[in-house]
Chain A
C-alpha cells in the first residue's frame, strides 16, 4: 500500500446564516493521529463529515487537499460512536459490507486475518445483538480496517463504552491503525491526551493547538505527563465556556 497522505482542510462553515466555525486550517500529518477535541456543537463532527465527503447541514467554503494532491473523499474510512452494524447481518457480513456494497468479490483471507487481529474469530457467525458493546465496536473497527483506506476518520468512536473497555479499544485501534492518517474527534480530554500525536482544541473562536504529552501512543493511562496534559486540556475547554 502506498504511504498514507497528510490531509489539510481549510475554510469556514456557516449554518443557517450563522458562523458554525471561523476560518480555520486543520492539518492531519501523514501516518499520525490527530485529536480534535471540543465540546458539543462547535462543529467538530462537521469537519470530519466534510473530509469524508458526506453531506452536512452547514455550508462550507474552502478546500480539502491531500499532500499527494489526489482527491481525499474516496480514500477515507469512517467509524462513528454508533457502531452502525446491520442487525440482520452476521459479524463477517458486517465486516465485508464495503465489498458487498461495491459488488466486489470479498477477500476471505483478509477477512480471516482481520477477525484474528481484533479477536473476533469465534464470533464471526454471530449477529450483532449477541455481542457486548465493546465487541460490537470491535466489529465496527474491523469493518473500518477491511476497507483498507489510508485516511481513517473516527467520530467519538469509543464514547459510549465503559472506561476499561474504552481503554482497551484505544489500545487496539492504535495497534491496528498504525501508519494510517487518523483524525479522531472526541469530547474526552483523557482520550485526546492518550491518543494524539497532535492535539487541537476546537472552540467557537477557532482552533488552538495544544502540545501533546511525551511518549508514543497509546500513552499509559497512569502516565504523569498524560494526566497533566488531560488536566490542562480540560482547563482550556472550561475557560472557553462562557
Chain B
C-alpha cells in the first residue's frame, strides 16, 4: 500500500525521461535514456558497488562524527550563556560560508583519502544537527522548569533529566536532515580530489563522455541517500515519539 505511490512516481519519472529522449532525439552522450542507463548500471555493477561502498563509509563515519560534535556543541551552548554569546555568532557565520570552497583546502590538509571526505560531510551536517538540538534544548516547557525549580534541582540535573530528554525529538529531526546532507558533502569531497567513491566515478565518467555511467552512478547515490534517510528515520523513530 505504502509503496504503491513510490513505485507509481518512479515509473512516471522514467516514462517522462524516455519521452524526452525519444522526442528530442538527443545523442546518448548528451542525454542517455533510462534503458541504456539501466544496462550500463548492470554491466558496471561491480565497479559501482565498490565506489558506493567507499562513499557509504565516508558518509556513515561523517554522520557519526558530525552527530556527536553537534550534540556536544548544542549541550554546551544550552548550558552556558558565555558559550552562547561567544560561539553562536561564529556558528551562524561559518554556516554562511560556502563549504564547497573549503573542499580543496581540506584535501590539502587531510590528504586524498577518506578523511577529507569525512570532514566535508561533518562540516555540512554539523550545523543542522547543532541548531535543531539546541533549539529543542532551549524550548523546554516552562512548567517542567518551574516544577524542577520548586524541587531544588541544580541546573545540570535539570539539563540531564529534563531538558535533554525533552529535546530528543528535535535532535531526531536534525539527524534525519543530516542523513540527506551528508552524502552531498562526501561527494563534493570526492569531486575535488579522490581516486574512489561515487563522486569520483561521476567525474571520471563525465570526463570520458560516458554520460550513461555518470547517470548510473548518480542514481545509485540518490537511492543510497534515500535508503540512508529511511534507515535513520527508523532508528530515530523512538526518540521522536514523546514530546510534542
Contacts and interface: CB of A to CB of B under 8 A. Distances in A.
Interface in B138-161: 141, 143-144, 146-154, 157-158, 161
Contacts of B243: 87
A76 B143 contact: no
Interface string A44-87: 00000100111000000000000000000010111010101011
A52 B242 contact: no
A contact face: mostly helix, strand, loop, or mixed: mixed
A102 B174 CA distance: 31
A103 interface: yes
Contacts of B149: 53-54
B153 A101 contact: yes
B151 A147 contact: yes
A100 interface: yes
Contacts, number: 54
Contacts of A49: 146
B143 A80 contact: yes
Interface of A: 49, 52-54, 74, 76-78, 80, 82, 84, 86-88, 97-98, 100-103, 129, 147
Contacts of B158: 101
Interface of B: 141, 143-144, 146-154, 157-158, 161-162, 165-166, 168, 242-243
B6 to A, nearest CB: 31
B150 A77 contact: yes
A54 B151 CA distance: 11
Nearest to B149: A54
A84 B144 contact: yes
Contacts of B157: 100-103
Nearest to A78: B150
22 contacts: A52-B146, A54-B146, A54-B150, A77-B150, A78-B146, A80-B146, A80-B147, A82-B143, A84-B147, A86-B165, A86-B166, A88-B165, A97-B147, A100-B161, A101-B151, A101-B153, A101-B158, A101-B161, A101-B162, A103-B157, A129-B242, A147-B151
